[in-house]
C-alpha cells in the first residue's frame, strides 16, 4: 500500500454502483481497457477478485461489499478536504444521492427543483425510493439526504424522538391518513364509524420500508385489526383497484388530495384518533459544514415548508 494510487478508490466506488466495466468507463470518461487495468490493480492491492462476472454484470465479492461502507466514508472525507471554501451554485457539478418515500416526490420536487435548475444548472440529483437499508446508508454517509415519514404519536415505534443521534433532521410537513372508497361503494349508505370501517376488506400500500401503519398499531391496542385483502407497493395501481372494487384504501391525505382527483373515489376520515405524522428531511452530521450540501438541504426545506404552510393557510 506504500505507493497506492488513491484515484483507484473512485474507480472501485463507481464499479460497485454500476456493476459493469462498460458503464463505469462511461461515467469515469475512461476506456473500458483503462478501467479493466485499474480493476486488476485493485484486485492485486486488496488480494481479492472484488467482482465476479455473471450474465447480469459484475457481482461484488464479500470482500468488496465489506469495503463499500468504509470506502464511501473515506471518499467523503477526501472530498471535504478538497472542496472549495466558497460554494458557487452556478459552477457546481456535484451529484447528490437522495432516498425518499414514494409519496414525498410530488410533495417536494415541484417546489424546490425549478429554483435548483435555475441557480445550479449542472448539479445532479440521484433519487431512489426509500427502502429497508436507507437509514443504514444515511448513517454510513452513502446517501446525502433522506426524506421519510416519522410519527409524533407516542404509540408508534417510528416516533420522531427515535431518530439516531448521528443524524440531523428538519420537519417538512405534517400529514395524516384518510380513507378512499369507490364512489359506488355500499358503505356510503351506512353510518360512517369504526364498525363500518372494519366491516369491509382493505387494500394496503406498503411504502417507505414500513410494513404496517400507526393505524394498525393503534387498532391492535384495542384488539382490533383490518382485514387486508391485497398488499401492494404502488399507490397509482392501488387507487385504480380501489375505484373498481369494494376495497378500502388508507392513504396519506396530502398525497391523496393530489392524486385521487383522477379517479372516481370518495374521501372519508379514518374513524379513530391518530396524531398526524410528518415527512422529515434527514442528513448525517458529517455534512453539517459542507457548503453545497447545506445549500441543497436549505433549498429543499425552505421551499417545501413555505409551499405547504401557504397551502394550509389558503
- 286 and 238 share a domain? no
Report yes or no on 88 lying in a domain. no
Number of domains in the chain: 3
- 206 and 156 share a domain? no
Percent of the chain with pLDDT over 90: 60
Task: Assess contact for 290 and 199: CB atoms under 8 A.
Answer: no
Cα separation values, 305 from 47, 103, 298, Å? 50, 16, 10
Parent domain of 41: 7-82
Residue-wise pLDDT tens digits, 168-203? 999 999 999 999 999 999 999 999 999 999 999 999
Is residue 3 scored above 70 in pLDDT? no
Task: Assess contact for 59 and 65: CB atoms under 8 A.
Answer: no
Task: Assess contact for 144 and 241: CB atoms under 8 A.
Answer: no
- 104 and 77 share a domain? no
Contacting residues for 65 by C-beta, under 8 A, at least 6 apart: none
- 247 and 265 share a domain? yes
Mean pLDDT score across all residues of the chain: 89
Report yes or no on 110 lying in a domain. yes
Contacting residues for 270 by C-beta, under 8 A, at least 6 apart: 176, 177, 178, 179, 197, 215, 250
Is residue 15 scored above 70 in pLDDT? yes
* Residues pairing with 151 in the sheet: 159
- For the CA atoms of 216, 219, 224, 230, what is the dihedral angle to 10 degrees? -20
CATH of the domain at 49: 1.10.10.10
Is residue 90 scored above 90 in pLDDT? yes
Report yes or no on 1 lying in a domain. no
Task: Show the cell assigned to 223.
Answer: 384488539
Phi-psi region of 47 (alpha: psi -120 to 50; beta: other; left: phi over 0): left
Report yes or no on 90 lying in a domain. no
* CA distance linking residue 5 with residue 56, whole number of Å: 29
Nearest residue to 284 via CA among 173, 149, 169: 169
- 165 and 286 share a domain? yes
- 136 and 57 share a domain? no
Cα four-point dihedral sign 241, 247, 250, 254: positive
Domain's final residue, options 58, 82, 106: 82
Domain's final residue, options 41, 57, 82: 82
Report yes or no on 52 lying in a domain. yes
Q: pTM value?
A: 0.74
CATH of the domain at 155: 3.40.190.10
In the chain, alpha helices (H): 7-18, 21-28, 32-46, 62-82, 105-119, 134-139, 194-199, 214-221, 235-243, 253-259, 291-313
- pLDDT computed for residue 211 by the predictor: 62
Domain's final residue, options 44, 61, 82: 82
Residue-wise pLDDT tens digits, 127-169? 999 988 899 889 888 899 999 999 999 888 788 999 999 999 9
- 75 and 16 share a domain? yes
Report yes or no on 46 lying in a domain. yes
Report yes or no on 89 lying in a domain. no
- 158 and 202 share a domain? no
Report yes or no on 187 lying in a domain. yes
- 253 and 181 share a domain? yes
- 73 and 211 share a domain? no
- 165 and 308 share a domain? yes
- 133 and 253 share a domain? no
Amino acid at each position: 500500500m506504500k505507493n497506492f494510487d488513491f484515484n483507484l478508490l473512485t474507480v472501485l466506488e463507481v464499479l460497485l454502483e454500476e456493476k459493469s466495466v462498460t458503464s463505469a468507463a462511461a461515467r469515469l470518461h475512461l476506456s473500458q481497457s483503462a478501467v479493466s487495468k485499474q480493476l486488476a490493480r485493485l484486485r492485486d492491492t486488496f488480494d481479492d477478485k472484488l467482482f465476479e462476472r455473471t450474465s447480469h454484470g459484475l457481482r461484488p465479492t464479500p470482500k468488496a461489499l465489506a469495503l463499500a461502507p468504509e470506502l464511501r466514508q473515506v471518499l467523503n472525507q477526501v472530498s471535504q478536504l478538497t472542496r472549495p471554501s466558497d460554494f458557487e451554485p452556478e459552477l457546481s457539478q456535484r451529484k447528490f444521492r437522495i432516498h425518499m418515500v414514494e409519496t414525498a416526490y410530488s410533495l417536494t420536487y415541484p417546489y424546490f427543483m425549478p429554483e435548483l435548475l435555475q441557480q445550479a444548472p449542472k448539479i445532479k440529483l440521484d433519487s431512489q425510493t426509500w427502502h429497508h437499508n436507507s437509514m443504514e446508508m444515511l448513517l454510513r454517509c452513502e446517501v446525502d439526504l433522506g426524506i421519510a415519514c416519522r410519527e409524533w404519536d407516542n404509540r408508534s415505534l417510528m416516533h420522531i424522538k427515535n431518530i439516531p443521534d448521528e443524524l440531523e433532521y428538519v420537519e417538512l410537513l405534517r400529514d395524516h391518513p384518510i380513507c378512499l372508497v369507490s364512489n359506488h361503494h355500499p358503505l356510503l349508505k351506512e353510518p360512517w364509524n369504526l364498525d363500518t370501517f372494519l366491516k369491509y376488506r382493505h387494500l394496503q400500500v406498503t411504502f417507505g420500508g414500513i410494513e404496517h401503519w400507526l393505524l394498525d398499531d393503534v387498532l391492535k391496542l384495542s384488539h382490533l385489526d383490518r382485514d387486508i385483502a391485497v398488499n401492494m407497493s404502488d399507490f397509482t395501481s392501488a387507487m385504480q383497484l380501489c375505484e373498481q372494487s369494494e376495497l378500502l384504501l388508507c392513504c396519506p391525505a396530502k398525497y391523496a388530495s393530489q392524486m385521487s382527483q383522477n379517479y372516481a373515489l370518495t374521501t372519508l376520515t379514518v374513524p379513530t384518533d391518530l396524531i398526524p405524522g410528518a415527512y422529515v428531511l434527514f442528513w448525517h452530521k458529517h455534512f453539517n459544514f459542507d457548503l453545497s450540501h447545506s445549500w441543497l438541504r436549505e433549498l429543499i426545506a425552505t421551499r417545501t415548508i413555505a409551499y405547504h404552510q401557504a397551502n394550509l393557510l389558503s
